[in-house]
Amino acid sequence: MSLEQFADLLHQPVLAHVATIGPQGEPQNNPVWFDWDGTYFYFSQTTARQKYRNVQREPRLALSVVDPNNPYRYIEIRGRVVRVDPDPDKAFINRMAHKYMGVPEYPYHRPEEERVVLVIEPVHTTHMG
């Protein structure tokens, strides 16, 4: 599966809408900041959030990214969480704050929050444009 034709989009500071399955089987969909290294997608969560609890129970998810310059160009990725990495020093969320906000540190840290990085392996893609 090649996402190369969407590399320009996947490296821009655009939001991915991530859908997971809730505790009663209902879909939950939220926009997130993400990173893509050519193999895996990454996004930050706190361990107190519903999305984190959802993927603990059911690791399959879908994410979609729409080109902000052409709303008819998009990519949908179905995949699964293959790893949950701790982010105790907030390195990943700070890197995303730099990508998305142009600031060196994520400004909304809460000391009580435990941050992790969800690592998603793409399994299937659909696209347009």
Q: Report the C-alpha gap between 92 and 81 in whole angstroms.
A: 17
Q: Report the C-alpha gap between 66 and 55 in whole angstroms.
A: 23
The pLDDT value given to residue 1: 59
- The order of strands in the sheet holding 60-67 is 27-32, 16-21, 60-67, 70-86, 115-128, 41-46, 35-36
Q: Report the C-alpha gap between 50 and 55 in whole angstroms.
A: 9
The pLDDT value given to residue 111: 81
Over residues 96-128, the pLDDT tens digits come to: 999 999 999 999 888 889 999 999 999 999 999
The pLDDT value given to residue 13: 96
Residue indicated by tokens 């995949």:
79
Could you tell me the pTM of the whole model?
0.93
The pLDDT value given to residue 109: 81
State mean pLDDT over 39-44.
97
Res. 3: pLDDT tops 90: no
**Around Cβ 97, how many Cβ atoms within 10 Å?**
20
Over residues 49-96, the pLDDT tens digits come to: 999 999 999 999 999 999 999 999 999 999 999 999 999 999 999 999
4-128, what's its fold? Answer: Pnp Oxidase; Chain A (2.30.110)
Conformation bin of residue 90: beta by default, left when phi > 0, alpha when psi is -120 to 50? left
Domain boundaries, the chain: 4-128
